[in-house]
Amino acid sequence: MDFLELIQSNLLTPIVLFFLFGIITARIKSDLKIPDAISEFLPIYLLAAIGLHGGIEMRNTGFTAMLAPMLVAIALSLLFTLNHYQILRRLGKFNIFDSYALASTYGAVGAVTFSVGISFLDNQGVSSEGYLAAILAVLEPLAFILAIFLTNMAVSKQLEEKKKSFGSMESKIDINSGETRSNLKQVLHESITGKAIVILLGSIVIGYIIGENGFSSISIVFDELFTGAIVIFLIEMGIIAGQRLGDIREVGLFLTSFAIIIPTFNGIIGVLVATILGLSVGGSVMFGLLLASASFIAAPAVLRHTIPQAKPSLYITSALGITFPYNIIVLLPIMFTLSSFIHNSESINLFHHVTNFLT
Amino acid sequence: MDFLELIQSNLLTPIVLFFLFGIITARIKSDLKIPDAISEFLPIYLLAAIGLHGGIEMRNTGFTAMLAPMLVAIALSLLFTLNHYQILRRLGKFNIFDSYALASTYGAVGAVTFSVGISFLDNQGVSSEGYLAAILAVLEPLAFILAIFLTNMAVSKQLEEKKKSFGSMESKIDINSGETRSNLKQVLHESITGKAIVILLGSIVIGYIIGENGFSSISIVFDELFTGAIVIFLIEMGIIAGQRLGDIREVGLFLTSFAIIIPTFNGIIGVLVATILGLSVGGSVMFGLLLASASFIAAPAVLRHTIPQAKPSLYITSALGITFPYNIIVLLPIMFTLSSFIHNSESINLFHHVTNFLT
Amino acid sequence: MDFLELIQSNLLTPIVLFFLFGIITARIKSDLKIPDAISEFLPIYLLAAIGLHGGIEMRNTGFTAMLAPMLVAIALSLLFTLNHYQILRRLGKFNIFDSYALASTYGAVGAVTFSVGISFLDNQGVSSEGYLAAILAVLEPLAFILAIFLTNMAVSKQLEEKKKSFGSMESKIDINSGETRSNLKQVLHESITGKAIVILLGSIVIGYIIGENGFSSISIVFDELFTGAIVIFLIEMGIIAGQRLGDIREVGLFLTSFAIIIPTFNGIIGVLVATILGLSVGGSVMFGLLLASASFIAAPAVLRHTIPQAKPSLYITSALGITFPYNIIVLLPIMFTLSSFIHNSESINLFHHVTNFLT
Amino acid sequence: MKFYPTKLLTITCEILAKKNILDIFTKYSVTGYTSYEVEGRGSRGLRGQGLENEKNIKVEVVISEEKLHDVVEEIARTMFTDFAIMLYVSEIGILRTEKFS
Amino acid sequence: MKFYPTKLLTITCEILAKKNILDIFTKYSVTGYTSYEVEGRGSRGLRGQGLENEKNIKVEVVISEEKLHDVVEEIARTMFTDFAIMLYVSEIGILRTEKFS
Amino acid sequence: MKFYPTKLLTITCEILAKKNILDIFTKYSVTGYTSYEVEGRGSRGLRGQGLENEKNIKVEVVISEEKLHDVVEEIARTMFTDFAIMLYVSEIGILRTEKFS
Ligand SMILES: Nc1ncnc2c1ncn2[C@@H]1O[C@H](COP(=O)(O)O)[C@@H](O)[C@H]1O
Ligand SMILES: Nc1ncnc2c1ncn2[C@@H]1O[C@H](COP(=O)(O)O)[C@@H](O)[C@H]1O
Ligand SMILES: Nc1ncnc2c1ncn2[C@@H]1O[C@H](COP(=O)(O)O)[C@@H](O)[C@H]1O
Ligand code: NA
Ligand code: NA
Ligand code: NA
């Protein structure tokens, strides 16, 4: 199956079609909507399913295989976040707050995108390494913590400079930097106890404990219903993305390009690096997808509190309205083609050399 | 299986029993209720399932087979709506608003009734033509549009007559007729973007695109869970119908009879016509059910805005409290017996003659 | 499998693990929560599934087998309620209201506990008598009715004594005792039309009518999804239990011990008696579980109206925060070991003697 | 547009107290009310999360001054000690007095 | 902190009347509002249970005295006979007058 | 029945601002509040549909005049520029003053 066929066959899956359907639904201003309780429950369900699945696989493979990919993913995620910031601040001329918010939105990961990726591979009859769910859990809060830390640093520096000019404001600034420190601690706590991470980590642990055997009694709910559940969720995601499309003017040309080029760049790097690290065809795609994805559910919840000065319309609209559709419709097949190619062709020899050299 | 056996075997299905259970639940004033989010989600789910199923079947059969049944259904639906109006206005002595509202409620179709019909046939091991889902989608807004058009006409005529007597009110009336025109346009838009139609048409198209293959990964959700989902939905429908039973006094004897005789008449005509048109046993039953069914979810949403002068207690109570139970418990087996009889017995020859004559 | 293995294998099921996960989730103050609509729907679903299952089995076994266990369960439930009251009032020094409220909370049954039990047995490959669902339905309101009756008696007595001392207050007291009587009638009505009983009894009847055949079209929803649904529900139960853990100080040492010792006592008696009555290994466990379980969903709804003077923090916290976890994690395996032992070992002879002697 | 002054009674309480409140309304022939679920914190801690029965509700009723006093008196007397409950009164203007009792 | 006196208009009505109300707001350039679902009882019986279309909502709008009268007049004229609806006005204090029209 | 005059502060804001508001309450020892989800339109467009984090809430608090000013001042100062938020104050009557701070 060549790339065009693949993008076509990917476009014509229920998941993508129902997502496009949701977008159209919103554009024609239909009153169709998935009730809140259902669309709040579905991400919890999807993460539980992903976690259980990952945990069960990790029981078979052990932890050591996970170490290198995990560390590399962390390093790349932090590097990418800093890179995004430079691009946004220097080239994009965004203010410091919007730059950090956007940088971390794209440095963070998207659990919904991950779910769609799992389903996409399933459809292609390809599997991926179970520990990727654990990497998802670890990456989720990382970019935010970095961005918040850096924002706070920057704000403190600004304040200190002001302090020098207006000696009288000292007391107030002290209060502020006190607030800043407690803020960071709070954010750390909130990030780690955020519902996405908690259900994901919990399910990984439970999957690890129960294994295939224990899973059999609940596999119909947490395995067989998975794709159907994603389809329903993507109707709602499509509707919300469609409502956001109108705001793209606000996002501007620079950010629109950013929202497409950066994921492509990050994702392709991810696929290559994962292949070097020895991940499977599917695992490399998922690794790339982790780095390519932007966060649009966790991001607002964290950023509104920690960088309230940043405009949510920027980071939500670009992540949900542009990057998410692009990732699941276009980039996913691109990365899959790439991963298949470098895993199967002779070019693999090159990578073997690199790997041998590195170890 | 003769008719009495059939009505008995139909009464004793989970769907009908849980519906009766819901009615009893409401009558004994239990606090049992299906949470709103679930009962708002279920019709969306059911229509998606029906649409996907229909779309997949249409992929096999093509569009041409659909044309004649579609046009005949449209014609019958409009004819029946006008017929209802005459009966209600002349025999029933209802005012013009209630007459049009009721006429279109019974000229429109009920998606829930349709779902129950699909399940009923499934239970009998009989299938029906996939394009009936498309006819459902087209008929849904039709009767309303006609009724609103006629109501507006009638109101304009009334106003014009008044205008002649009170010359001074001119300006005001002009505003009103301006409102009327924009109203009709708005109603058209709202009808076509109404959630039921949107999800139904969308799913038909998606089903058509993905076919059996693409459907396999979601068939457990959108096919195997179907009957169970209907059962849960019918508990809530039963509860609501039960709460309405108290209002039947308000409905009166005339409308109560109307709510039973008209569906029977429309349904039987539908079965006969469908048989002539060459539909299968099951298809003819579903065609009859489309014409027999009354709308009780879409109707209030449309009619409250377009004919606000009509009393909702009349059209909701009769459609949901009387016609719906009658249709799924009594009329469905009647139509099935009839359809089986005219399809299997020698009487089929008669129809062949008619068909040959017509073509 | 010996007892320690069993408790371990029971601890490591998805149900128990997700319950523990919920508790941890609450303790670390995560914002994870199952949306209300889902957690309100799940008990309805679970009871419908239990009822259908029970009804189908009763169709095979008939009603007569049910009589003796039903009557014995009623008698034990009433006896236990009185016993709880004595212990709480005399040893625990609780006031009359708290004593009656707690006594009936522990005399009543817990539908969620029952669901977990069914799943536990399923996991062990053991079945239980279908009529136990009917016993569940009958026991549910019983302890409350007794407790309310006794509370009202006690309050009336108190009032009468006061009346003797203050002759002037007569009229007011008469009003009060009038209120009391109408209260009891109302409570009876509310108990019997309470949603848990209604859905349970309704499903039993429907299961009885439709049998295996009628069930097949909905068995995927009402049978195969059962364990997965419980898992999701127990996440929420765990979260709520975890939130309650902080209130255990309020509960005190006496009530904490009560919340563990009483279920153990009641449950073991239940297993022994059921074995004597001839129930199967699994049936005896479920019979014991019925008597061991405390009510934490129905109890507050009834007791807030009928004994509003009692402190809900006491009876909810002890039933949900202590007894429920203890029952499903520790007591269930204990009772299963016991039941297996006395059913299989030679000690069964003893019981045969007793049974012979009694009949 | 002329607005006639009347009273709005707002009651915030635990959901299981609703029945009692509606019963008191019925007793004093107060036929209209509006209610909805809320969460809240008060002297009895945080409410409205977790079990269905632990929710809070608000009940609002447009009511004449005379009935107001009877209703409030009865609620205070029969419910304040046993239930999580809070109430307040405000002045509002309505279009037609005959509609509210 | 200085609070400027203004008006709060509260409308309780059947959910299908919401569109009409928002249309009237648009007509008079009232851009802000807050709304939520409620259940209630009034002259048209108990509402807010059962079918989605049978729910009640409340719509609240902070509004200047002049616009208030136009909006209320139009609602009363066009909707009172055909819809389950109730409204009242109260006095409130806001921080900045320019935000509300 | 005697009603003591006090203040009701009503805040309508985006859901992610709730934490900040509750923190301010805690800072000024305001222990009671009631809150619920709403949808609304204001200067920041339509809110309350779509993503969970985009919802609006209302927070209502019965509060003494002194605390009112501190709380409103702090909310206005720290939150008005960055969040979708609106607030108003009204006069209410309560039964017992000691319950509210
Ligand atoms: N000061 C307050 N302002 C607003 N609502 C309050 C206040 N105090 C209590 N409430 C509400 O009233 C309910 C019952 O209060 P309480 O009986 O004090 O627990 C609480 O759960 C809150 O919803
Ligand atoms: N006296 C009242 N107090 C509070 N709300 C009311 C009152 N009367 C009516 N309502 C509300 O207004 C809605 C419509 O009233 P109605 O048109 O009288 O049925 C009802 O469903 C209630 O939610
Ligand atoms: N004039 C108004 N009347 C009632 N609610 C309003 C009004 N203006 C704003 N709101 C509410 O306050 C929220 C925040 O307002 P804003 O910051 O102006 O977007 C809106 O989403 C509405 O729920
Ligand atoms: Na990323
Ligand atoms: Na029809
Ligand atoms: Na018990």
All structural domains of chain F, each given as residue ranges with its CATH number in brackets, are 4-95 (3.30.70.120)
SS3 E87: strand
Least reliable range by pLDDT among A199-208, A245-254, A342-351, C263-272:
A342-351
pLDDT recorded at residue F97: 66
What are the backbone dihedrals phi and psi of residue F89, each rounded to the nearest 5 degrees, phi first? -120, 140
Q: Does pLDDT of D51 surpass 90?
A: no
**Helix, strand, coil fractions of chain B, as percent rounded to 5:** 85, 0, 15
**Quick one: average pLDDT of A122-140?**
92
Q: CA triplet A20, A25, A31: central angle to 5 degrees?
A: 150
CA distances from C131 to A3, C56, C349 (A): 60, 10, 26
Partners of residue D17 in chain C, C-beta under 8 Å = 304
SS3 C12: coil
Nearest CA to ligand 2 atom 22: E40
CA distances from B226 to A223, B358, C219 (A): 18, 39, 11
By the 10 Å C-beta count (0-12 exposed, 13-18 middle, 19+ buried), E28 is classed as middle
Choosing among E15, E53, E77, E85, which should be mutated to test the B contact, i.e. which has the most B CBs within 10 A? E53
| B151-185 residue pLDDT tens | 777 777 777 776 666 554 444 444 444 455 556 77
Residues having CB closer than 6 A to ligand 2 are: D 32-34, 60-62, 100; E 12, 40-44, 47, 56, 84-86
Residue A179 banded pLDDT, cuts 50, 70, 90: low
Question: For residues C12 and A210, what is the distance between their CA atoms, to the nearest angstrom?
Answer: 6
CA-based nearest residue in chain C for residue B41: C37
Cβ neighbours for C236, distance < 8 A, ≥ 6 positions apart: C22, C33, C34, C38, C39, C42
Exposure string of E31-68, with b = 16+ CB inside 10 Å and e = fewer, is: ebbbbbbbbbbbeeeebbebbbbbbbbbbbbbbeeebb
Neighbours of chain F (3+ CB pairs under 8 A): A, D, E
Closest C-alpha among B123, B143, B136, B128 to residue B48 = B136
pLDDT recorded at residue B357: 58
Question: For residues C234 and C17, what is the distance between their CA atoms, to the nearest angstrom?
Answer: 9
Q: Does E82 touch chain B (CB under 8 A)?
A: yes
pLDDT recorded at residue D98: 65
Partners of residue B229 in chain C, C-beta under 8 Å = 221
Residue B324 banded pLDDT, cuts 50, 70, 90: very high
Q: Which of C38, C198, C220 sits opposite B32 (nearest CB)?
A: C198
Question: For residues B70 and B58, what is the distance between their CA atoms, to the nearest angstrom?
Answer: 14
Question: For residues C74 and C139, what is the distance between their CA atoms, to the nearest angstrom?
Answer: 6
Partners of residue D37 in chain F, C-beta under 8 Å = 36
Ordered domains of chain A (ranges, CATH)? 3-358 (1.20.1530.20)
Question: For residues C45 and C51, what is the distance between their CA atoms, to the nearest angstrom?
Answer: 10
**% chain A with pLDDT above 70:** 89
pLDDT recorded at residue A175: 43
CB contact under 8 A, A14 and B220: no
Tokens 């989010």: give the residue.
B37
Q: Does pLDDT of A49 surpass 90?
A: yes
Closest C-alpha among C52, C54, C43 to residue C222 = C52
Q: Is the minimum distance from the CB of E34 to ligand 3 under 6 angstroms?
A: yes
Partners of residue B195 in chain A, C-beta under 8 Å = 30-33
Partners of residue B198 in chain A, C-beta under 8 Å = 25, 28, 30, 32
Residue C263, token pair as written in the block: 């279920």
Rg of chain D in Å (alpha carbons)? 14
**% chain B with pLDDT above 90:** 66
What are the backbone dihedrals phi and psi of residue C321, each rounded to the nearest 5 degrees, phi first? -85, -25
Least reliable range by pLDDT among A190-194, B313-317, C128-132, C322-326:
A190-194
Q: CA triplet B113, B119, B120: central angle to 5 degrees?
A: 85
CA D34 to chain centre: 9
Q: Does pLDDT of C96 surpass 50?
A: yes
Mean pLDDT of all residues in chain A?
88
**Quick one: average pLDDT of B128-137?**
94
What are the backbone dihedrals phi and psi of residue A278, each rounded to the nearest 5 degrees, phi first? 95, 10
Nearest CA to ligand 2 atom 5: D33
Q: Does B23 touch chain E (CB under 8 A)?
A: no
Q: Which of D62, D92, D95 sits opposite E76 (nearest CB)?
A: D95
Q: Does chain D reach chain F with at least 3 CB pairs under 8 Å?
A: yes
Question: For residues C219 and C212, what is the distance between their CA atoms, to the nearest angstrom?
Answer: 9
**Quick one: average pLDDT of B112-124?**
94
Q: Does C309 touch chain D (CB under 8 A)?
A: yes
CB contact under 8 A, A231 and B221: yes
Closest atom of ligand 3 to CA, residue F84:
17
Residue A193 CB: number of other CB atoms within 10 A? 16
pLDDT recorded at residue E15: 93
CB contact under 8 A, A34 and B44: yes
Nearest CA to ligand 3 atom 9: F42
User: Do strands F45-47 and D45-47 pair parallel, antiparallel, or not at all (unpaired)?
Assistant: unpaired
H helix intervals, A166-247: 170-192, 195-215, 219, 226-245
Least reliable range by pLDDT among A51-55, B8-12, C347-351, F68-72:
C347-351
pLDDT recorded at residue B175: 43
Interface size D-F, in CB pairs within 8 Å, comes to 54
pLDDT recorded at residue B105: 94
pLDDT recorded at residue B301: 83
Q: Does pLDDT of B233 surpass 60?
A: yes
Residue C167 banded pLDDT, cuts 50, 70, 90: low
Question: For residues B163 and B171, what is the distance between their CA atoms, to the nearest angstrom?
Answer: 10
Least reliable range by pLDDT among A131-135, C13-17, C303-307, F89-93:
C303-307
Closest C-alpha among A121, A77, A84 to residue A101 = A84
CA-based nearest residue in chain C for residue A208: C12
Q: Does A245 touch chain F (CB under 8 A)?
A: no
- Which residue did the predictor score with more confidence, A154 or A226? A226
Residue C152 banded pLDDT, cuts 50, 70, 90: confident
Q: Which of A18, A34, A224 sits opposite B41 (nearest CB)?
A: A34
Question: For residues D38 and D48, what is the distance between their CA atoms, to the nearest angstrom?
Answer: 7
Whether the CB-CB separation of C291 and C269 falls below 8 Å is answered with yes
Cβ neighbours for B203, distance < 8 A, ≥ 6 positions apart: B47, B48, B49, B50, B51, B52, B54, B55
What are the backbone dihedrals phi and psi of residue F83, each rounded to the nearest 5 degrees, phi first? -125, 155
Q: Does pLDDT of A348 surpass 60?
A: no
Residue A352 banded pLDDT, cuts 50, 70, 90: low
Partners of residue A25 in chain B, C-beta under 8 Å = 198, 202
Interface size A-F, in CB pairs within 8 Å, comes to 32
Least reliable range by pLDDT among A61-65, C89-93, F69-73:
A61-65
Question: For residues D60 and D30, what is the distance between their CA atoms, to the nearest angstrom?
Answer: 12
Question: For residues C265 and C80, what is the distance between their CA atoms, to the nearest angstrom?
Answer: 10
**% chain E with pLDDT above 90:** 77
pLDDT recorded at residue A181: 54
Tokens 């800043």: give the residue.
A180
Nearest CA to ligand 3 atom 7: E32
Q: Does pLDDT of A266 surpass 90?
A: yes
Closest C-alpha among A259, A338, A315, A321 to residue A292 = A259
Partners of residue A297 in chain F, C-beta under 8 Å = 51-53
Closest C-alpha among B68, B66, B148 to residue B107 = B148
- Which residue did the predictor score with more confidence, C169 or C201? C201
Question: For residues A89 and A95, what is the distance between their CA atoms, to the nearest angstrom?
Answer: 7
**Quick one: average pLDDT of C323-329?**
96
| F34-66 residue pLDDT tens | 999 999 998 877 776 777 788 899 999 999 999
Question: For residues B140 and B134, what is the distance between their CA atoms, to the nearest angstrom?
Answer: 10
Residue of F10, F11, F12 best suited for mutating to test ligand 3, as the one with most atoms within 8 Å of CB: F12
pLDDT recorded at residue B9: 76
pTM reported for the whole predicted model: 0.93
> Considering every ligand atom, which ligand is closest to the CA of A144?
4
Q: Does pLDDT of B272 surpass 90?
A: yes
Interface size A-B, in CB pairs within 8 Å, comes to 70
**Quick one: average pLDDT of D51-66?**
92
> Considering every ligand atom, which ligand is closest to the CA of A293?
4
Residue A158 banded pLDDT, cuts 50, 70, 90: confident
pLDDT recorded at residue C190: 77
Strand ranges inside chain A, DSSP E: none
Closest C-alpha among A328, A346, A247 to residue A292 = A328
**Quick one: average pLDDT of C117-132?**
94
Residue of D12, D13, D46, D60 best suited for mutating to test ligand 1, as the one with most atoms within 8 Å of CB: D12
SS3 B171: helix
CA-based nearest residue in chain D for residue F97: D88
Amino acid at C43: P
By the 10 Å C-beta count (0-12 exposed, 13-18 middle, 19+ buried), C112 is classed as buried
- φ/ψ region of A99 (left if φ > 0, alpha if ψ in -120 to 50, else beta) reads alpha
CA-based nearest residue in chain B for residue C190: B30
Q: Is the minimum distance from the CB of E64 to ligand 3 under 6 angstroms?
A: no
Residue C259, token pair as written in the block: 């919340």
CA B310 to chain centre: 20
- Which residue did the predictor score with more confidence, C56 or C140? C56
pLDDT recorded at residue B160: 73
Nearest CA to ligand 1 atom 7: F32
Question: For residues B83 and B35, what is the distance between their CA atoms, to the nearest angstrom?
Answer: 39
- Number of residues that make up chain B: 359
pLDDT recorded at residue C322: 96
Amino acid at F65: E
Which run of H or of E encompasses E84? none
CA distances from C293 to C104, C150, C201 (A): 11, 21, 19
pLDDT recorded at residue C263: 98
Residue D4 CB: number of other CB atoms within 10 A? 13
Question: For residues E9 and B157, what is the distance between their CA atoms, to the nearest angstrom?
Answer: 37
Inter-residue long-range contacts of E23-30, CB under 8 Å, 24+ positions, other chains counted:
E24/E71, E24/E74, E24/E75, E24/E78, E25/E61, E25/E71, E27/E74, E28/E67, E28/E70, E28/E71, E28/E74, E29/E67, E29/E101, E30/E61, E30/E63, E30/E67, E30/E71, E30/E101
Residue A172 banded pLDDT, cuts 50, 70, 90: very low
Q: Does chain B reach chain F with at least 3 CB pairs under 8 Å?
A: no
Give C89's Cβ-side CA count (13 Å radius).
15
Q: Which of F58, F72, F88 sits opposite E92 (nearest CB)?
A: F88
Residue A115, token pair as written in the block: 């779910």
Crossing angle, helix C281-292 and helix C248-276, to 10 degrees?
Answer: 150
Q: Does chain A reach chain C with at least 3 CB pairs under 8 Å?
A: yes
